[in-house]
Structure 1
Amino acid sequence: MSRRRFIFLGLLSLITALFGSFYFYDFDTVLFKIIKKDLAYLKLSNQQIETFVLDAKKENHWERKFFDWKKQYFMRVGFMIVSFWNSFPYYYKYNQYKSELVGDFLLSTDFFMNRMDVDADITYVALYNPYKRACSNPFSNLYYPGA
């Protein structure tokens, strides 16, 4: 394979990946799929996740948390790559952002207030914002008296 052909195929695959991430997946769809996949072991309905995604979009939750368009685009492309391969050069950064998204969802539910009971049904309460939900420390000793 010549160098020109290699560069041409590389650019073609990059353009295809960028187009595919713009066309097939928006950030809300990726967020829904990430939460659904990572929390598959919990009793969680699709409606709970959809409500969280819609509330976050309505209140510009991600822009206020410094999760700007670059990080959102990175998550879209990273999600597409991880669906085919288990690793890529920025996999650890992708994992960090993914954990932040899933953590935001879990803090917005009653999961921690139910003492992290994986057998209980999880209910979406509201977007986690410590300024709006006063005195809601999910890690308080009130919820874990034996600890």
Structure 2
Amino acid sequence: MFRRKFLKIAGLGAAAVALPSLGAYAVSLNEATAGIILHQFRFLNLDKEGVDQFVLDYYKQEGSSRSAFAHVKMRGYYMLNINSDQSQLVRTITTLYLLSTDFFQNRMNELKLVRYQGIYDPYKTPCANPFSALYYPPAPAV
């Protein structure tokens, strides 16, 4: 009798551990990365097709350095709604996405549609300082 009870409890414990990890595999790596970007910049009007294209370009550029652990980690970040304050990987991806869009050329206007222009590469992109005073919105008149 004790053995059956032990096996039931052990089976329930194993299922409780296995089921959430199986849920992480229900979402693809590209969907998880796009979801992280959309969640991080939910206050912006993002072009969803552009986000998907950025994710494809990002993983194409990253190449074969993706490990199985990185896949699980990114899916876990998506499932747990980890933001850029909590993860350096999320911060890197979201910063690269924002630099790859026309957000700074539009003077950081949050009402305009943010469009993906191409993966940001500081060695190929023309010298534009997105933090220049030319891109800031005009100061209100006093």
TM-score for both structures, normalised by structure 1: 0.70
Matches of 2:52 and 2:103, distance apart in 1 = 17
Which one of the candidate residues 13, 16, 24 is aligned to 1:13?
16
1:74 equivalent to 2:76? Answer no
Higher Cα radius of gyration? 2
Q: What one-letter code is carried by the residue in structure 1 that aligns with 2:86? A: N
Q: May I ask how many residue pairs the two structures share in their alignment?
A: 134
Matches of 2:137 and 2:64, distance apart in 1 = 34
Cα displacement (A) at 1:61: 6.5
Alignment gaps of 5+ in structure 1: 84-90
- CA 1:49–1:5 in structure 2 vs 1: closer, same or farther (change >3 Å)? same
Residue aligning to 2:111: 119
Residue aligning to 2:123: 131
Which one of the candidate residues 71, 83, 91 is aligned to 1:99?
91
CA contact (8 A) 2:44 2:114 kept: yes
Q: What one-letter code is carried by the residue in structure 1 that aligns with 2:112? A: A
RMSD in angstroms over aligned alpha carbons? 3.2
Cα displacement (A) at 1:76: 0.6
Matches of 2:54 and 2:19, distance apart in 1 = 31
- CA 1:31–1:145 in structure 2 vs 1: closer, same or farther (change >3 Å)? closer
Q: Which moved more, 1:114-123 or 1:137-146?
A: 137-146
Identity %: 30
Residue aligning to 1:55: 57
Alignment gaps of 5+ in structure 2: none
